[in-house]
């Protein structure tokens, strides 16, 4: 298991990005959190899972839900964090 921090920039607030991320993460078996940042254009995700699970989630983050317009995705390694579920903050 590994943990990644994923920053997604663009039109990702007010388009169900957080809810869709939670649904996709749960579908993949990924645990973690998702939240909007105060700038109005950024979503921050902490995700823990296998390399394969996180790769699938990161691929999905490049596009997001139908209403989203993703301009950039930044991924960084984090120390392992254990979560019970995937939740919206």
Q: Supply the DSSP symbol for 65.
A: S
Q: Using DSSP bridges, classify how beta strands 86-88 and 31-36 pair: parallel, antiparallel or unpaired.
A: parallel
Pick the catalytic residue: 9, 18, 22, 23?
A: 18
Is 36 considered catalytic here? yes
Pick the catalytic residue: 9, 23, 36, 71?
A: 36
CB neighbours of residue 76 within 10 Å: 9
Cβ within 8 Å of residue 1, ≥6 positions away: 48, 49, 50, 80
Q: Which residues are catalytic?
A: 18, 36
């Amino acid at each position: 298991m590994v943990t990644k921090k994923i920053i997604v920039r663009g039109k990702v607030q007010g388009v169900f990005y957080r809810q869709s991320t939670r649904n996709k993460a749960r579908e993949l078996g990924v645990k973690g959190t998702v939240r909007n940042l105060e700038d109005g254009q950024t979503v921050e995700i902490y995700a823990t899972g296998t390399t394969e699970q996180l790769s699938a989630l990161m691929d999905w983050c490049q596009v997001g839900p139908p209403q989203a317009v993703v301009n950039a995705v930044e991924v960084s390694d984090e120390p392992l964090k254990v979560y019970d579920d995937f939740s919206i903050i």
